[in-house]
A and B are shown apart, each in its own frame.
Chain A
Amino acid sequence: MARSAHLGGILGLAGLFGLVAAALVGGAADAPVGTLQVFVLVSLSLVVGLSTAASP
């Protein structure tokens, strides 16, 4: 149970980090590619990054 909470916390932290980054860049900055595109690209980075624990 504690381990699941740890993992949930880590993944939640990663998700929060990604969302904050996307919001900061897409919303506050004058990003030419647009808020939604920044958000989805950051989401892709998040998914790909979290999925590569097995890579060397």
Chain B
Amino acid sequence: MVAQIGPLVQVGRKKTALAIHVLGGIAGGATIGLLLGFGGLLLRAALGDTLDTIFVIVVPAVLLYAASVDLGLLRLPHLTWVRQTPGSWPCSMGHYPGIFAWGFDLGLGVTTRIPYQSTLVVPLAALLSGDLATAVAITTVYGAARALAVVAAVQSVPGDDYGAACDAIQERVVPLKKLVGVTALVIAALIVIS
């Protein structure tokens, strides 16, 4: 879907398109956060303070697993699925609604291909936090950050050479995966010691 950046921002007004995309990402993140937050409240009602113990054990454990896979230390199959945001949406929904829907879909974080295993921790932590505000904060920041990454990719393009931007992005996948893996390890340690 990253190959759609060029056509998306070239058809209409670039800044408007990017702003709508970011709004979509925020809305998608907030939506999944609300759903997971309510799920977390149900878990807290059922488990009480035991949920905090589960959180402190499960989240660092999954972070450790995810970091090991992302860093290449564990040769396990990635937990992911193959769905991508349909490239036809701007045609079927209209230009700006399609861009919003693209951001919303990516902001959900769980409906498209999962590039890093550490991504799995975001919805898991939101659910196990057992707190609506925490869940919404975690997932909304994810949705906004993912949309802003697209904005950064578009802004980094010299002229209209979006093909080169896509190539540059693909070349950064491996170092970014290592960065995410190291971050996951640090955060697992911080959760355990805090």
Contact = CB atoms under 8 A, between A and B. Distances in A.
A50 B148 contact: yes
On chain B, which size bracket covers the interface? 35 or more
B191 interface: yes
Contacts of A53: 2, 146, 149-150, 152-153, 169
A47 to B, nearest CB: 5
- Dominant SS at the A interface? helix
Contacts of A56: 1-2, 84-85, 112-113
A7 B194 contact: no
B184 to A, nearest CB: 7
B71 interface: no
B145 A41 contact: no
Contacts of B191: 37, 40
Contacts of B143: 49
B61 interface: no
Contacts, number: 161
Contacts of A40: 187, 190-191, 194
Interface string B164-194: 0000011011001101100110010011001
Given A32-B131, A38-B134, A46 B141 contact: yes
Interface string A38-56: 1011111111111111111
7 contacts: A24-B133, A40-B191, A41-B129, A41-B138, A44-B122, A49-B149, A52-B115
Interface of B: 1-2, 44, 51-52, 55, 59, 63, 84-85, 106, 112-116, 118-119, 121-122, 125, 129-131, 133-134, 137-146, 148-153, 155-156, 158, 169-170, 172-173, 176-177, 179-180, 183-184, 187, 190-191, 194
Interface of A: 3, 6-7, 10-11, 13-14, 17-18, 21-22, 24-26, 29, 31-34, 36-38, 40-56
